[in-house]
Structure formats: C-alpha cells, structure tokens
Structure 1
C-alpha cells in the first residue's frame, strides 16, 4: 500500500497540463488548454485541460477527471500504478508497505501480464550485461551496431540465452505463473504426449537480442527479438504475439522516448526498424518512431496525431516495394496530417546514415531532401511511366486519388495546382477527376449505408426530443456553485413570506451577506430539501464539510481524496461550460458574459427554481390523491391552493409567467 503522505505529495506536485502534454499535443485556449481527444478519432479539438482546477474533460467521449484519472483511462493503470508513475516523473520517493501474497494474487490478469513483461525486460538486460554468453554475443552485437552503453541501457536492450527454457525457469522460480508467460507469448507451451500432466515449455526468443516495446507511458507491452545466427529456418526478427496488453497495430516503437521531442519539434520522423530509431536517437534526433516492420495503420498514425500534425517518412535508398509503402502515405493524408518523404542514398538506410554522419550533416540532409509527398510521388511514378501515355495517365490518376484523401479543401486545391505543374496536365482536368472520385466515394458510401427497402414503403422521420430532468440539472448546478464559489462572500436577497394589510401573502426581500455554501446549506435545510441524485448527495455533504472546515478550500485538494467516479462527475460539472471555449466565440465578435459577475443572483435563482419545481411536484401528488380518494378532500384542496399562491409569488420573483 502507498502511504497517504506520498499520495498527497504526488497530487500537490503533479501538473496536469505537463502530464497530459506527454500524451496529447495541447494548445493554449484562454486560461485552459485544448487538444484532440486521445480516446476517439477526431480532427477538431474537443479535449479540454484546466490548469487552474487541475481537471480535464473529453467532450467527445464524455470522460474526465484529475491527473490520476487520465492515466487510469489512457494507460489503463490501476490507482497505485498511476501514483507510482507520477512519483517517478516528479522524483518523489514512494513510501509503501510490502504487498501480501493475497494482494499479489488479487492483481488482475492484465496487470499480471504487465508484471511478467517487466520481469522479462529486467531478466534479458541482466543476461546481456552479466552473463558471459550475453556479453560475448548480445553486447558485442550492439557494440558493433555502434550503440553506446548509455543508449543500450536507455532502450533497455537485452539478450535471451540460447537455451530451451532458461528464461521460463527463471520466471517460474520468481513466482510468475506459466499461464501469464504463455499469454504474453514469452513462453511457448506444448502438450507432451508421453507426459500429459507436464507440458513442454520453450522460450520464444531463445538466442535473440531483445528490443522491449514500450507504451507511451513507458510500460513494457511486448518484445522484438533478432536472431544472430544464420539459421535459414528461423525468422530474422520475431515479435511478441498479440495479447491483452500488446496490439502491434496500435503501438509505435520508441514513442515513449520520442513523445516530448515530437511535440517540441512539431514533427515526427517515421522509420522502419528498431535500430533506425535507436541510431537516430543516439545521434541526437529524438523525435523518431518506428512501425516495427508492420504496415502502417490508422491507429499508429492517430498516436502521432496527438503530438503533431507533421510526419516525415524516411525510406531506405534501395527500399524494395517502395511503391507499396505509399499506401501508408495515403493513410496519413486521410488523417488530415502533413506528410513529407525522404529517401537515403543507394545502399544507405536511416541506421547506417545516422551512424556514419555527424548530427549537423544528418539534419542538413533531411532538410534538403525531404520532399512534399506530391512531388515525391509524382517523381517516383513519372519515372516508372516513362514515355508510355497509358502509364502516365494511370500515374496522374494515382496522384489525384491520394489528393482526394485530404479532408481540407484548400490543401486539395493547392496540391492539384502543384500536380498540374509537375505532370504538365491542365488543372481543369485534374479538378474534374477529383470531383468524379468524390462523387463515386459518396455514392459508394450511400449505397453501403442505405438499408434494403421494399417498393412503395413509406418511411416517416421521427424526431425524438430528449426530456430534460429538471431536478437533476438543478442539483448539478448546486454542486457546481459550491465547487466554484463555495467560500465566496456574497450579498443575497432573501425572501420572507409575510401578510400585507389586506391579508394577502407577499414575499418581502431582505438583504443578507453570507458565504455561498452557507446560503445554499441554510436554504436547503430550511425547506428540508435533500438532493435526490445519490452521487450529487454524497458530493454535497463532502463539500459542505470541507468548506466548513477549510478556509483555503481548493478543488485540487478536495478531489484527491474522492473515488474516481466522483472525480469524473466533478470534472464533468466544472468543465461543462468550458466546451464553448472550443468554438472561439471571441473570433466571431461574440463575448460571453463572465458568470462570476452575478454569483449571488445565480445562487438565489437556482434555489428559487428548485423550490418552484418541488412545489409543482407536491401539487401534482396532492391532485392525484384527490382523484384517488372519493371522500372529503377539503384539506387537500386548501393545501393545493396555498401551494398555488406560493408558486405564483415565487415565479413572479423569477419574472416567469404562469399559464
């Protein structure tokens, strides 16, 4: 268990915008930050971060919370893991008691797989540095590649001994279960026909140098292993199989080490192999990742899209199947990103080029040779087309197909103009072709989406209007006011029910100065109103207690002691109005009024509205009773008339006309 003092120190030290900035590219928006949702596929920002309140809200998925909630949602951390991650980031020493065997057993399957993977990484590193075979084979290989000790340790590189079950035995001896070793793919388990109760166990990566694959937060998800012998039957590179924690289509090698540099440089270099990433990083170019030998996927592109809009794809000088690789370029364009391509001289790849040249030379080469995708594709395909008119036409159509993938209309037009110049084709023809492609895509999509419909069927458009839960919204507003203005001293206009000289009931205003939380608490107590929503009720009592006890109440401290469901609810309440900042109203000369200018009025009107609503509900209940009871209803009718009069007075005060 992590001590309370450590947890408090983590919450006090951690800066939400810094932590989220490691995973999402954030841009200033007034007093807040905004960015693309890390939970959904979107092209316009709907993700808001409030440094003042230290909470975030993702309007596209509905998720929200504090810094710990973000790590739990985004990285699938448990609560203790999130605290440890933050402690490590901010160099805070974690005080904790040793977990019992029972607590270890309670760890869920996913967490157990993470623990097994972390043990494997440490074991492979230990074998590389401390075993004779590891030093002679694995370490020698990395040194030959030109990697320094510092780089090898930075990327946690290792070696799996060339033994059938050396790693598996070590893991089992350290208490890790065979089931999780098999699920992570570290161990291959096969039935033994002669001994059915004792299956055969093999190390998947035996005799290979190891490249751990990290998540964006630094957790070990899987491994890539390279064989060093000339065994033609064995694959040169072998990756961990798909598992609960490792999905190769959603992972980029090196993203953990590159994320901050990518956001800072506002560009990401995309290479093919592990050693390309490591060599570039060692040379001083940190904003580099790899798709680890797999075809580029939309999920991987979206991972980069959170950090930058710009990708530079680096290809080997003699890359086989370069044209096939261009499919990845189209995927990048579809995501609305800017893409450049750079190829290296014949016989060179990013690894060798970075190894054999100084940093300034590599940067200069990249700057001078990175071509816009349209220039690169046109040049490449034009060379293939040569003087063949049919191939030339196919080339032009191929390029326009790529341009059609771009969501931005202005960019499409500029690229069409550029393509027309390079390929010496009229712009009108290209625009016409682009329009045909667009129409075809729309028609295909409509055909796919259109359900089968019988002849002469009449389809009615049914508009369903969601009914507003008035009491829920009012209770939510009360929580919001307590959170934002609870300790503010305000002047309120209180209403006292009196009889005038004619004997009629009137509401006489009286000025009152009090703190917002005192006013709300006393009004609800006086009317014996209890919040009906259980979540709001729990938050309400905790808030009143904290506001009463702490003069220096802060939202950040308050939510650090709440469970994650409450934190998510509070962040949703507080950030609700922040979503309007996403629309940049000021740019349209619309200036929303600052709500804080009328806090006293807001509180009074909210309480009055809640009273009116509850009076209305009470009258409806009394009316139902009169219908059900056939006896004497005089007392009930008199009560209804009193409520009607009170409701009329309250609504008059709210400037509402009653029908």
Structure 2
C-alpha cells in the first residue's frame, strides 16, 4: 500500500503536460496543448491537454482523465505503478513493502508478465557484472564493442549464462510462475514424451542481452546475441510476440531517445541495437532502431508523436538500400518529412560512430543527409542507365512515392524536383499523379456522399391544425439534448470550435477551427464551459448516467442504461426513443422557436440545440432583470448595461448559427 500522503505529494508535483510531453509532442494551442493521439492513427491533432485543469482528452478515441489515467491507458500501468512512475520522475520517495509470493499470484496476467521481465533484466545485469563467466564472456564482448560501464548501465545490458536452465531456476526460486516465464518467451517448456513431466530451457542461453523498453521504460522483451560460431543458431534472437511485446509496435531505444527527439525535432532511424548504443555513447541521443525488422506504420506513428522529421541511416549495402525504399514510402504516407544518409561502403552507423569523434559524426550527418527524392532518383537511375524503359519505370516509382505524400504543397515541390532531376516535364508527372488519384478520389467522393446522405435529417413541419399551445421551451431543449445523446451520442462529427491564440503582436485573438469528436463529448464540453445544469431533475439524472456510460463504455448499451433509471426516468427515455422526429430542430416552430428551413446534419443539430439553450437562458436572465425593474418602477445603469450585454451576446449567437427567434428583449 502507498500512503495517502505520498499520493497527495505525487499529484501536487505532477504536471500533466510534462508527463504526457514525454510520450506525445505537444504544441501550444491557446491556453491548452494539442498533439497527435497516442491511442489511434491520425494525422490531424485531436489530443488536447489542459494545464489549467490538469486533465487530457483524446477526441479520436474518447479517452481522457488526469495524469495517472494517461499512464494507466498508455503504459497499461496499475494505479500503484503509475504513482510510482510519477514519484520517480519528480523525486518523491515511496515506501512500500516487497510483494509476497501470494501477492505476485494475485497480480493480473499482463502485470505478472511485466514483473517477470523486470526480474529477468535485473538477473541478466547481475550475471554480467558479478559472475566470472558473465565478466569473461559478456563483459569482454561489450568491451570489444567499445561500450563503457556507464553505457552498459544506461541500457541495462546483461548476459545469460550458457546453461540450459540457469535463469529459469533462479526465477522459479524467487517465486515467479512458470506460466508467465513461458508466456514472455523467457523459458521454453516442452512435455516429456509419455510423461507429465516438463523440460524447461532458457531461450536466451549463452547470449548477451539487450532489454527492449517501452516509451516509459517498462521492459517489454529482449534481444539476445549469440557469441559462439554456431551456424545453426540465429545470430540475434528476439522475444516472441506476447501480450506485452509486439515487435511491429516497438522501437529499440525510444525510452532513452524520446526527449532528445522532441528537443532536436528530428529522429535518426537505424537498424540495430549497437547502432543506437554507439550513437548515444558518441553524444547523439535522438536515435532509435527498428531492431532488424521491416519498418511498420505503428513504429512510424510512435516517432510521429515526437517529431515530424526522420533521417534514415543506411550502410553502404546496395541490396539493403533497395529493400529499404518501402520503409521510406511508409514514412511519407504518414505525412512526415524524410531524409536519407548513407555511410561509406563497408561501414555502418555503429562502426562509423566508433571511428569518429562526435563533432565529425555530426558534420557527416549534416553534410550527407539528402532529400528522399534525390536519394531514390540517384539509386534507381544507376540501374536504369541508358535504358528508356527502365528510366520510365524509375520515374513511375518516384511518382508513386510522391503520390503518398498527403500535403499538396509538398507534393508539388517534389514534382518540380523530380522534373528537374529526371529531365521530364511537370505536366507528364501531374498527369501520372492524376491517374493514380482518380480511383482514390472516386472512392472518397462515394464514401462522402453516403455519409452525407446518412447524416442528413428530413425537415418535418407541423401538420395543419397543430396545436399552438404554449410549451416549456427550456424543458423541450433539455429533452432534445437527451434525444441527441440517445440517437447520436457515440457518432463522430466535425464541429467548428473557437480557440484563443496569440497573434503576431502577442494579442489574444479568436480563431475558428474544425475538431473531430464524439457528439457526447461536444455536448459535455459545451455545457461544462457555460456551467449549464439541467433544470429538469429527471433529465439531469439521465444526462449524468448517459455521459458516464459513454465515457466508460464508448457506446450506449441500452439494457444496462435503462436498468440504471427510475420508473419515471425510464418513461421519459422511452418517450424520446419512440418520438425521434419530434426532437429534430426542424420542429422548433411548434415551440415558438424559428430556425432556417433546411435539412440538418448531426453536427448542426448539436450546434443549434446548444445555441438555442444558451439563448433561452439569456432570455430568462433578461426576464429576471425586468421583473426587478418592474417591481421597483426604475432601472439602474448597471441593469441597463447587463441587458445590453446580454442582447449583444444573444445577437452574436443568433448570427453565428443562423438562428432567428421570435422572443424579444426590451430595448
């Protein structure tokens, strides 16, 4: 158990923007920060952090909360682990008792795998430093690589003894379960033929160990390099896929590189563990490795949260260069800027960094990093030589890469560059791009039309003879909000929003932006911003339960929802569900509220409903002032000023959303 006083200290010291800034590149947006969602694939930032309120919200996935909630969501920490992570970051001492075997057994499966991996890292480190075989074999290898003691400690490097089950026995003796040793891949278990007995082997026996960490420093898995000349054994061996280790979503060195990447606004991408470690030892820390696997979109998005710029470093192997072109196209597809730097033939990032000073290494990278199109053109042109057919294929391949760039301005610049380098007209290149885009555009237009058709509302006018009896407008507006949440709450819509930004003179100005978010999020944030509470107690209770369910579940589970309601609240909800058309804005005429006659999409329905609620509340405020004026038979200057201010605000809202009301203020 962690003492409440310690938890309070952690929350007092923690800054949500600082903690999240270690995982996501945040940029100032008014009084808040914004960045790309770490929970979904997106190119337009929808992840917001509020330093004032010390909360975050991811509008693409619907997740949100405080700093601890972020760590629990992003790093899959338990609550105590998130507290301990923050305590370590802010230098707060945490006193806790060591876990007993019983407590270890009660841990969740995923958490148990993390605990086993942490133990393995510690064990391999101790074996390297303290055992004679570890120092003689593993220590000698790392010394030959030029790694210092500080570097070995920084990357938690280790050694696994060349014995069948040395690690497994140690782990079992420390109380860790064989089930999780096997699930993490640290131990291989085989059944003895014709017996219930099991044989256990250390997966990484006789290898130097490279722990693979998450962005927060948790041990996800291991890479092990064999030191013998056994041709039957793989030179490098990685942990198998597991619940905590997915090699396509992990970059080696990201934990140690994240702050330098954000600070330098660039990430060097290499292939191997030793490349990363050697660069760090040379003083260049903004470097990560794909760990020998083909680059994946998930790995690129991991970098994209920290910077938009990647410099891919290659050795002089021509065959390897050709194979890496696909990775460059993947980077371009993510809307990132990519440069390429190749080392002299026969050298790689590791060997070049060892043979040169930091200053020379930095100069080499700056002078030799070239734009991807120049690199690709020079590489492919060598193959084409004077063959017109091959040259045409080369141009098509380059155009295919340009086509993957989402930004139109960048795409045009690269077309001009390709035209110059390949000596071909821009018109031909644009025509080729158009051909590639025709199908994509057609598909996009079709999808857009289908969505627009689905989201449009039919305008339903009151029939002749409709009763014009006076209705409670505020009650109807609140009921309409409940109706929108019931029918559209989990839909994602594009809303216009207003943010405050600094202009060139340092003055705060309003700027309209488009934000994609769930309907329930938009309603919640708007009502919260205006501190609006429902007047109808039943609607207030229903609204609270709806928002809570959307936040937790992401969708409305009607059976569970209705079970949480009282008899009266159930009746209200059923009434709304059975009369959907009644709550479209096109029916406001029956409630003495007039709007423009047009079909209405969900986002406009939300905007105008909230706006009408605001206008109604403004009317009520003015009515209350007039009641006071009527009772006193006199109006003060302050009262008249209030009425004028409310009138101006009301007019602004009406003009912005195209609303017209037949309720008048006194002038």
Provide the TM-score with structure 2 as the length reference: 0.71
Aligned to 2:186: 186
Aligned to 1:161: 161
Kept in 2: contact 1:227–1:237 (CA 8 A): yes
Aligned to 1:510: none
1:219-618 map, 5 Å: 219-318=218-317, 320-442=319-441, 463=455, 468-470=480-482, 531-533=540-542
1:74 lines up with 2:83 in the alignment: no
Aligned to 1:47: 47
Kept in 1: contact 2:35–2:47 (CA 8 A): yes
Kept in 1: contact 2:268–2:287 (CA 8 A): yes
Displacement after TM superposition at 1:390 (Å): 1.0
Indicate how the Cα distance of structure 1 residues 655 and 149 shifts in structure 2: closer, same or farther if over 3 A, else same. Answer: farther
> In structure 1, what is the Cα distance between the partners aligned to 2:189 and 2:622?
65
Indicate how the Cα distance of structure 1 residues 485 and 329 shifts in structure 2: closer, same or farther if over 3 A, else same. Answer: closer
> In structure 2, what is the Cα distance between the partners aligned to 1:607 and 1:89?
54
Q: Residue by residue, what CA displacement relative to the aligned partner does 1:577-619 show, whole Å, maximum 9, x if unpaired?
A: xxxxxxxxxxxxxxxxxx9xx99977976999xxxxxxxxxxx
RMSD over equivalenced CA pairs, Å = 3.6
Aligned to 2:580: none
Q: How many residues of Structure 1 are paired with residues of Structure 2 in the alignment?
A: 513
Displacement after TM superposition at 1:396 (Å): 0.8
> In structure 1, what is the Cα distance between the partners aligned to 2:221 and 2:622?
54
Kept in 2: contact 1:478–1:606 (CA 8 A): no
Aligned to 1:137: 137
> In structure 2, what is the Cα distance between the partners aligned to 1:169 and 1:604?
76
1:628-639 map, 5 Å: none
Q: Match of 1:185, SS?
A: coil
Indicate how the Cα distance of structure 1 residues 72 and 247 shifts in structure 2: closer, same or farther if over 3 A, else same. Answer: same
Displacement after TM superposition at 1:95 (Å): 2.4
Aligned to 1:648: none
> In structure 2, what is the Cα distance between the partners aligned to 1:191 and 1:257?
40
Displacement after TM superposition at 1:442 (Å): 4.5
1:99-110 map, 5 Å: 99=99, 101-110=101-110
Q: Residue by residue, what CA displacement relative to the aligned partner does 1:375-423 show, whole Å, maximum 9, x if unpaired?
A: 0000111111111111111111111111011011111111011011111
1:18 lines up with 2:18 in the alignment: yes
> In structure 1, what is the Cα distance between the partners aligned to 2:428 and 2:524?
61
Aligned to 2:92: 92
> In structure 1, what is the Cα distance between the partners aligned to 2:297 and 2:340?
18
Aligned to 2:200: 201
Indicate how the Cα distance of structure 1 residues 396 and 125 shifts in structure 2: closer, same or farther if over 3 A, else same. Answer: same
Aligned to 1:646: none
Kept in 2: contact 1:530–1:537 (CA 8 A): no
Indicate how the Cα distance of structure 1 residues 98 and 122 shifts in structure 2: closer, same or farther if over 3 A, else same. Answer: closer
1:30 lines up with 2:30 in the alignment: yes
- Structure 1, unmatched stretches of 5+, are 451-458, 487-515, 540-563, 567-594, 609-653
Ranked by relative contact order (alpha carbons within 8 Å, sequence separation 6 or more), the top structure is 1
Kept in 2: contact 1:477–1:606 (CA 8 A): no
Q: Match of 1:162, SS?
A: coil
Q: Residue by residue, what CA displacement relative to the aligned partner does 1:492-512 show, whole Å, maximum 9, x if unpaired?
A: xxxxxxxxxxxxxxxxxxxxx
Provide the TM-score with structure 1 as the length reference: 0.72
Displacement after TM superposition at 1:439 (Å): 1.7
> In structure 1, what is the Cα distance between the partners aligned to 2:61 and 2:622?
29
Displacement after TM superposition at 1:537 (Å): 12
Q: Residue by residue, what CA displacement relative to the aligned partner does 1:351-384 show, whole Å, maximum 9, x if unpaired?
A: 0111111111101100000000000000111111
Aligned to 1:625: none
Kept in 2: contact 1:208–1:226 (CA 8 A): yes
> In structure 1, what is the Cα distance between the partners aligned to 2:343 and 2:363?
13
- Structure 2, unmatched stretches of 5+, are 459-478, 486-519, 554-610, 625-660
Q: Match of 1:320, SS?
A: helix
Indicate how the Cα distance of structure 1 residues 429 and 483 shifts in structure 2: closer, same or farther if over 3 A, else same. Answer: closer
